[in-house]
Amino acid sequence: MAGQRTKSQHITIVDVARESGFSASTVSIVLNEAPLSRYVAATTKEQIRTTAERLGYHPDLFARSLRSRRTHTIGVMIFDISDPFCTLILRGIERALHGTGYLPLMMDAHNNREQFEGYLRMLVERRIEGLIVVANWLFQECGLLARLQERGLPIVVVGRDLSTDGFRSVVVENEMGGAMAIQHLYELGHRRIAAIRGPVQLSDSSSRWEGIQRFCSGRDITIRDVHVRTLPDLLDPFSVFEAGAALAEEIARGDSDFSALIGFDDLTALGAMRGLTQAGVRVPEECSVIGFDDIPAASYTTPGLTTIRQPMEEMGAITTEHLLKMLSNPETAAAEGTPVQKLTPALIARGSTMVLTGNTSSDTEP
């Protein structure tokens, strides 16, 4: 009669303790399956568990974190959440984190360095135990990340190779991807090929170009300078489409002796399809187009965009697994240095590429 819970706010561990007849510490030990729980009688465990269940006890995570100095939280800094590139990566992260007991704390930096720093500080204040950075090409390291890593925060970057800056990174095998793209065109019979390269600033650009060049060397295939353009640096993701369109149109209106075009990424390639069309060149009949990434939009166009797929969900998952490994044994992870993990891309053939037909080039519209 007395001792009833009047202010029945939340059920705490002492409620369970009192109700079950044991002490709070025993309850804690049992419910956490702590090492010492090996010495607790089975019957005791049973009783405690059932009363906890019956009362609907849920531990207070804030009290727990305060005491244990652990948060089971990992930060996910997204440099631009509206970049179609990253949502599948997030999927992979979410999947890999599911069931591990870690909670992702996602922040969108909005392509903005200041916000990036601000949110990073918030994450640190929330005591994240590790950090995943989902970077796009606009991402610029500002030193803050490095300082955090020095202070012992495990960090993995996905989407860009920042291993030279000292960060463990997960990216796609760009060189292989470039080679796969041109190989696909080659196998379709294309020999004279145009290209829109990525921004020079970006290492991905040169890697993919390497792959392309390597494949070309020793084969009867040419990429003439008049058929090559380069995307400007520091472009925001949305302008890439426009730039691709403009450059492709420019190429097409010049020397038209090419039958296929390689875009730096899907947005470039989709832009190129637009530009070529505007220049009166039909895709794929007169010019095949291939991209890189396999963003969702690539499959929604007509014709669908043939592309080199980055295994984004897998990249997210692998990144997460790396981080979890670093969390479980920090010393081993530190000893491993900062390697880059490069994942194998895959050719996704759609309608924008086709076998080379008789007319090797297009002059103008009929």
Chain residues that interact with DNA, rule: CB under 7 A: 9-10, 12-14, 21-26, 28-29, 31-32, 34, 36, 39-41, 43-44, 57-60, 63-64, 66-68
> For residues 56 and 358, which CB has a smaller minimum distance to DNA in the complex?
56
Could you give the 3-state DSSP secondary structure of residue 298? helix
> For residues 203 and 301, which CB has a smaller minimum distance to its own copies in the complex?
301
- Indicate which of its own copies, DNA, none lies near residue 87 (CB less than 5 to 8 Å, by partner kind): its own copies
- Indicate which of its own copies, DNA, none lies near residue 71 (CB less than 5 to 8 Å, by partner kind): its own copies
Question: Which residues are 347's β-sheet partners?
Answer: 308
> For residues 66 and 226, which CB has a smaller minimum distance to DNA in the complex?
66
Residues at the contact surface with its own copies, assessed by CB under 8 A: 58, 60-63, 65-66, 71, 81-82, 84, 87-88, 90-91, 94-95, 98, 103-108, 110, 115, 122, 125-127, 241, 267, 270-271, 273-274, 277, 283, 296-297, 299-302, 304
- Indicate which of its own copies, DNA, none lies near residue 88 (CB less than 5 to 8 Å, by partner kind): its own copies
Rounded Cα distance, 180 and 308, in Å? 7
| CB of 40 closer than 8 Å to CB of 31 | no
- Indicate which of its own copies, DNA, none lies near residue 29 (CB less than 5 to 8 Å, by partner kind): DNA
Q: Residue 62 CB, nearest distance to DNA (Å)?
A: 8
**CA end-to-end distance (rounded Å), the chain:** 96
DSSP character at residue 354: -
Q: Residue 111 CB, nearest distance to its own copies (Å)?
A: 11
Q: Residue 51 CB, nearest distance to DNA (Å)?
A: 12
- Indicate which of DNA, its own copies, none lies near residue 274 (CB less than 5 to 8 Å, by partner kind): its own copies
Rounded Cα distance, 314 and 172, in Å? 10
> For residues 26 and 111, which CB has a smaller minimum distance to DNA in the complex?
26
Q: Look up residue 160 and give its two tokens.
A: 């860009």
Rounded Cα distance, 330 and 284, in Å? 52
> For residues 40 and 144, which CB has a smaller minimum distance to DNA in the complex?
40
> For residues 47 and 73, which CB has a smaller minimum distance to its own copies in the complex?
73
Q: Residue 30 CB, nearest distance to DNA (Å)?
A: 8
- Indicate which of its own copies, DNA, none lies near residue 334 (CB less than 5 to 8 Å, by partner kind): none
> For residues 163 and 278, which CB has a smaller minimum distance to its own copies in the complex?
278
Q: How many other β-carbons are positioned within 10 Å of the β-carbon of residue 72?
A: 16
**What element of type H or E holds 117?**
helix 113-125
For 167-233, the three-class secondary structure string (H helix, E strand, C coil) is CEEEEECHHHHHHHHHHHHHHCCCCEEEEEECCCCCHHHHHHHHHHHHHHCCCCCECCHHHEEECCC
For 303, counting Cβ atoms within 10 Å of its Cβ (0-12 exposed, 13-18 middle, 19+ buried), the class is: middle
Rounded Cα distance, 143 and 128, in Å? 18
